[in-house]
Structure 1
């Protein structure tokens, strides 16, 4: 994974995040329009059962169950106060190369943390299943 590849950095730009909101259920007369969602760092990551899932491209925080009056920036800050993107004091276009490199380092920490949490959850589930299998084989229920 090249942390400075175009694929890895393209979501820093508002226009690219906005393009992901095709089919977003909130478009007018509400706070969580595609434009406001993209400004707050979100990309649209719908699933079959959840058409309003949005994830911060940076901290990977997923939120769903949006209401028309939800303010994307406030929701992002309240659910992921450690996100470096939502806490930027200037626009991406104003950042120096050094600042972008530091941001990328922080972004990759979020990616690694999420990956580790998912791996631990899979391990714990497999261990629980193995324990149940052993108990079943020994006649313990």
Structure 2
């Protein structure tokens, strides 16, 4: 598996994150402008009901319910203090290859943890439904 393919690394670049903020509900005269959101590592991931969902491309933390005065960097740090991207002390362009590879390995850990949590949630939902069906079947037999 190629650890650093273009698809995985394109969001390390500010410009690519910024491009995702088309239709973002906050722009000028706000703290959470598309530019500030992208600088803080966020990408815009709207849904039908929530046009202001943003997710860190690195730690996959999703935040919504943004207010015009919310500072994206502060919000990111307060909701995902362990995110390695928001904790970077230098620009991505200044990282060595070794630092970038280590960073990407951390990102992969976040990605796997997110997938595991999603699988557990799906499994728990299916188990709950199966349990309800078993109980209903037992009640019908009485």
Which TM-score bucket, shorter chain as reference? over 0.9
- What residue in structure 2 maps to residue 40 of structure 1? 40
**TM-score under structure 2 normalisation?**
0.96
Cα deviation, residue 7, structure 1: 0.8
Q: Tell me the SS of whatever aligns to 1:43.
A: strand
What's 1:137 paired with?
Answer: 137
* 1:1-141 to 2 correspondences below 5 Å: 2-139=2-139
Secondary structure, in 3 states, of the residue corresponding to 1:138?
helix
Deviation at 1:106, TM superposition (A): 0.2
Shift of 1:133: 0.4
TM-score (norm 1): 0.97
1:52, distance to aligned residue in structure 2 (A):
0.5
* CA apart distance, 1:84: 0.2
Deviation of the 1:2 alpha carbon: 3.1
Name stretches of at least 5 consecutive residues in structure 2 with no aligned partner. Answer: none
1:3 Cα shift? 2.5
Once residues 94 and 8 of structure 2 are traced to their aligned partners in structure 1, the CA distance between those partners, rounded to angstroms, is 19
| Two-structure CA RMSD over aligned residues (Å) | 0.9
Distance 1:127 1:16 in 2: 40
Could you report, residue by residue, the CA deviation over 1:96-135 in whole angstroms, capped at 9, with x for unpaired residues?
0000000000000000000000001111111111111000
CA-CA distance at 1:88 after TM superposition: 0.2
Gaps of 5+ in 1: none
**Contact 1:60 1:110 survives alignment (8 Å):** yes
How far the C-alpha of 1:138 sits from its partner, in A, is 0.3
1:139 is paired with a residue of what secondary structure?
helix
Aligned-residue offset at 1:17: 0.4
